[in-house]
Amino acid sequence: MVLDIGTVLKLLRDNVERTGLPVPASREDLTGWSRGLDLPSTGETLLYTGALYQLLPRIDALARQLESLEKGRAGRALFRAAGRFGRLAGLAGLVLRPRRGDVEYAERVLRSIVGLLRSAGVNISYDPGLDGYSGVLLYDLGLDSDFRRHAERVARALQERGPELVVTVDPHTTHVLREVYPRFFPWFQVRVRSYLEILAEHADEVPWLEGSAGQVTVHDPCFYARHLNIYREPRLLLERAGYRVVNPRRWGRLTYCCGGPLESVSPGLSRRIAERRVGELRETGARVAVVMCPICLANLRRVGGIGVEDISVVLAGRVRGLAV
Amino acid sequence: MPYSVLHERLETILSLLGDKELRRALERAVRNAEGKHLALLERYPYLEALRRRAKRAGDAFLERPEELVEEAMESIRRNHGTPHLARTPEEAREAVLRIAERTGGPVVISKSMVAEEVGLRRALEEAGLEAWETDLGELLVQLERGRPMHTTAPAIHMTVERARRLVRERLGLELSEDAGPEEIVAAVRRFLREKFTSARLGVSGANSIAADTGTIVLVENEGNIRLVTGLPPVHVVITGVDKVVPTMEDAVAVALVQAAWAGLYPPTYLNLITGPSSTADIEHHRVYGAHGPRELHVILVDNGRLRAARQDPLRWQLRCIRCGRCQWECPVWRETANHWGGPVYGGPMGMGWTAITHSLREAAELSLLCLGCARCDEVCPVEIPLSSIIRWLKSRAHQG
């Protein structure tokens, strides 16, 4: 049974309109990871997470629900009924039970990123009140008026804060802030860079552990590799950290998608693409595939068959004195 | 119903995810085709310059489409050919039918996506004419009563087992129990020989048309195009207006780039056709209709193209040379073939072409199946911003 796309999209739009987030989550869910890190709330370099890592356990829970609805016979009818009675948010709240392990891993990713930047001597600030969601999913689905409405608020807040540099942590948020916001809002003139770009520039300053760390393969996310031309940086960093990188058959600018962007339209098709990619990653003989995007992380992990770890966690484990 | 096209197509796609025959066919073909253009570029580095030339030729069309079409028509006339400008599929079909009713059948056709687009074969059959596709893949699609599943490899969804069954059952040809591709090709060759020699009309497409000389350029490997365009007394070319480029040099570049990015380079044959065949061997008196056709008609199909040439970002689709590279490399197409697509064009290039020639609404809904991964942008030889076109289409999917 195919999903009722109209209802899925309505669920997404309503959530963003009501809460600023694509799936229900609290402020604590979004910013709790930063507790105890003593991050200053103001500074020249501002960390903006875009919330994807924090939301992913919830999006993943929703995706699993959608997948079982698509497989079941009643999927469309159930969704339609929920839509008709205006209980979409309730339905979403009911079904979204993120797994504790996923939530903890997302927090570990963000704490690792902060740890890595600090170990490279980069002073960053983080304002939990300013952090939020970029609206990227709305843009990717062509929901332009919803995206514009939401993104304008985010863009204004960032512009008014006026940091020298906004540091992002995932490819989708990096792309939408750097490439899409200026097209929608010509007044938006904030410099945006991924933490991987900054870290690669400061790689010499990081106190890496010595010795070999073994072999890994790298899954380049499409938005870093093709849209932003970022694929050398992760390899440089992994090699500095002592890893031997074995590239899969398709990598760099020709990397192959994890299938994630289709999970809200057709979980079955999305999974098939992910399975194909996992097969390629396994062909390398590496036991761990390094990813750098929360969507890739969730989608490839859902398939299984190979260890999938975020690059921040992998790198942080190889920095002297860094415990996250 | 909103998203009804998408829902209907998704039903098909989900059921195909378990189709073992389709899986097997795509597995074999994509493994062979993927990344081929990169190996060719390494071996023939000049292809890079040709690719840029083909892109510039496409841009020239976008800058002055009407002017170039007019120039091409004038050049075709100067060479004793007959140009026709068909605004709609109906006009295109009528133009061919008028000629076919005069010549009679059989009609032999060499693969043309534009002929598919205007529903030409069916129109000829409905007019009581015997019409045969002569490209093997397209013939298999004709026998299956299906539609092309890839731009340059229309029967890509079929395994050898299925091809054997179709040739045996629909053409009544005798094949051994475990006939492989070689035996099937030989049997079809024997069957089509008789059609070629008895055909009164040959219909081909075009890879490109040079506006300055009126030359039709066609690239191929099977040799069927040579026969379709050379044996029957009348030759009709049916193609989109977007195939017109400024010069003969541009036209040849486009055809060679098409072959290379399709992964079939060097092509076995490159055909250049400028007017009907002729001889001036007796008293230097020019007689039309020597060994090749005595009549050449060129039907330039608009069907939304000239309007699209003024519409950003859809206009960039018109630079497309139909190599099908974006299809080979797309993760969604890899699982669905042209089932992700409109009635004729599928995959990344198929979204734009469906919007231009068939239905913007349908293309917009189907575009929601795009990952936005931009692998298509990366491999397109003429640098069409395919993922941007598709994202623009997505934004049209939600409008009333």
Residue-by-residue DSSP string for A80-128: HHHHHTT-HHHHHHHH----HHHHHHHHHHHHHHHHHHHHTT---B--T
Provide CB contacts within 8 A for A148, sequence distance 6+: A184
Q: Are residues B205 and B142 part of one domain?
A: yes
For an interface test with A, give the residue of B1, B6, B7, B10 to mutate (most A CBs within 10 A): B10
Tell me whether residue B56 is in a domain.
no
Q: Which residues of B touch A295 (CB under 8 A)?
A: none
> In this predicted model, what pLDDT tens digit does every residue of A153-182 receive, in sequence order?
999 999 999 899 999 999 999 999 999 999
Indicate the pairing of strand B269-273 with strand B216-220: antiparallel
Rounded CA-CA distance B347/B327 in Å is 5
Does the structure show a pLDDT above 50 at A319?
A: yes
How much is the pLDDT for A68?
Answer: 73
Q: What does the pLDDT average to over A61-86?
A: 63
Q: Would you say residue A76 has pLDDT above 70? A: no
Q: Same structural domain for residues A163 and A236?
A: no
- Same domain? For B104 and B244 the reply is yes
Instruction: Tell me the mean pLDDT in the region A89-101.
Output: 64
Q: Which of B283, B303, B323 is the last residue of a domain?
A: B303
Q: What is the CATH number of the domain that holds B194?
A: 3.40.50.10420
Residue A142 — φ and ψ, nearest 5°?
80, 15
The domain boundary, picked from A171, A199, A227, lies at: A199
Contact criterion met (CB < 8 Å) for B335 and A226: no
Evaluate whether residue A324 is within a structural domain. no
Same domain, A188 and A226: no
Q: Does the distance separating the beta carbons of A222 and B371 come in below 8 Å?
A: yes
A35 and A163, same domain (yes or no): yes
Q: How confident is the prediction for chain A on average, in pLDDT?
A: 91
The two tokens of residue A135 are: 């609206």
- The beta-carbon neighbor of B395 closest among A6, A144, A253 is A144
Same domain, B203 and B315: no
- Got the DSSP string for B370-381? -----HHHHH-T
- A5–B7 CB contact, under 8 Å: yes
| Confidence band, pLDDT 50/70/90 cuts, at residue A315 | very high
What the block records as the tokens of A252 is: 């760099």
Q: What's the complex ipTM? A: 0.93
State the nearest Cα–Cα gap between A160 and chain B, in angstroms: 29
The residue to which tokens 């796609």 are assigned: B13
Q: Please say whether the beta carbons of A122 and A45 come within 8 A.
A: yes
When divided into structural domains, chain B yields a total of 2
Residue A86 has pLDDT above 50, yes or no: no
CATH code of the domain covering residue B377: 1.10.1060
Pick the residue from chain A with its C-alpha nearest to B23: A272
Q: Is residue B328 part of a domain?
A: yes
Residues 6+ apart with CB under 8 A from A70: A1, A2, A3, A266, A267, A268, B14
- Whether residues B284 and B324 share a domain: the answer is no
Q: Are residues B257 and B383 in the same domain?
A: no
Domain-ending residue, one of A199, A219, A242:
A199
Instruction: Check residue A50 and give left, alpha or beta (phi > 0: left; psi -120 to 50: alpha).
Output: left
Q: Say whether both B389 and B250 belong to one domain.
A: no
User: Checking DSSP bridges between strand B131-133 and strand A243-246, what pairing results, if any?
Assistant: unpaired
Q: How many domains does chain A have?
A: 2
Q: What is the pLDDT of residue A323?
A: 76
Selecting from A142, A266, A269 the residue whose C-beta is nearest the C-beta of B394 gives: A142
Residue in A3, A6, A273 nearest the CB of B2: A6
Question: Dihedral sign, CA of B29, B34, B36, B39?
Answer: negative
Count of C-beta atoms within a 10 Å radius of residue A102? 17
pTM check: above 0.90? yes
What percent of chain A stands above pLDDT 90? 80
- Please report how the helices A267-283 and A294-303 are oriented relative to each other, as an axis angle in degrees rounded to 10: 80
Q: Which residue of A has its CA nearest to B31?
A: A249
Q: At residue B29, what is the residue type? A: A
The reply to whether residue B13 touches residue A266, judged by beta carbons under 8 angstroms, is yes
**pLDDT score for A82:** 53
Residues B287 and B326 in one domain: no
Specify which residues A310 forms β-bridges with. A291
In chain B the beta strands, taken as DSSP E runs, fall at 82-86, 107-109, 131-133, 201-204, 208-210, 216-220, 234-240, 244-245, 269-273, 278-279, 287-288, 295-301
Task: Evaluate whether A102 touches A34 at the Cβ level (below 8 Å).
Answer: no
Residues B171 and B108 in one domain: yes
Residue A184 resides in a domain: yes
Together in a domain, A247 and A138: no
Of A5, A256, A272, the CB nearest to B3: A5
Minimum-distance CB partner of A2 among B10, B331, B378: B10
Q: Which of B244, B270, B303 is the last residue of a domain?
A: B303
Q: Which domain holds residue B362?
A: 4-33+311-397
CATH of the domain at A263: 3.40.50.1860
Instruction: Name residues of chain B where pLDDT drops below 70.
Output: 400
Answer yes or no: is A177 within a domain: yes
Q: Does B47 reside within a domain?
A: no
Asked if the bond preceding B106 is cis, omega within 30° of 0, the reply is yes
Same domain, B228 and B162: yes
Q: Which residues of A touch B (CB under 8 A)?
A: 2-6, 9, 70, 140-144, 222, 226-227, 253-257, 259-262, 265-266, 268-269, 272-273, 276
Q: Which residues pair with A213 in a beta bridge?
A: none
Interface of B with A (CB under 8 A): 2-3, 6-7, 10-11, 13-14, 17, 35, 329, 331-332, 334-336, 364, 367-369, 371-375, 377-379, 391-398
Q: Which chain A residue shows the shortest CA-CA distance from B16?
A: A269
Residue A73: per-residue pLDDT: 56
> Angle at the Cα of B259 (from B276 to B379), degrees rounded to 5?
140
Q: Are A223 and A192 in contact (CB under 8 A)?
A: no
- pLDDT reading at A279 higher than 60: yes
Indicate the residue of A140, A142, A256 with minimum beta-carbon distance to B397.
A142
Domain around A43: 5-199
Tokens 């370099």 locate to A45
- B369 to A269: CB separation less than 8 angstroms, yes or no: yes
Select the residue of B335, B364, B392 nearest A272 (Cβ to Cβ): B335
What is the number of CB-based contacts under 8 A between chain A and chain B? 94
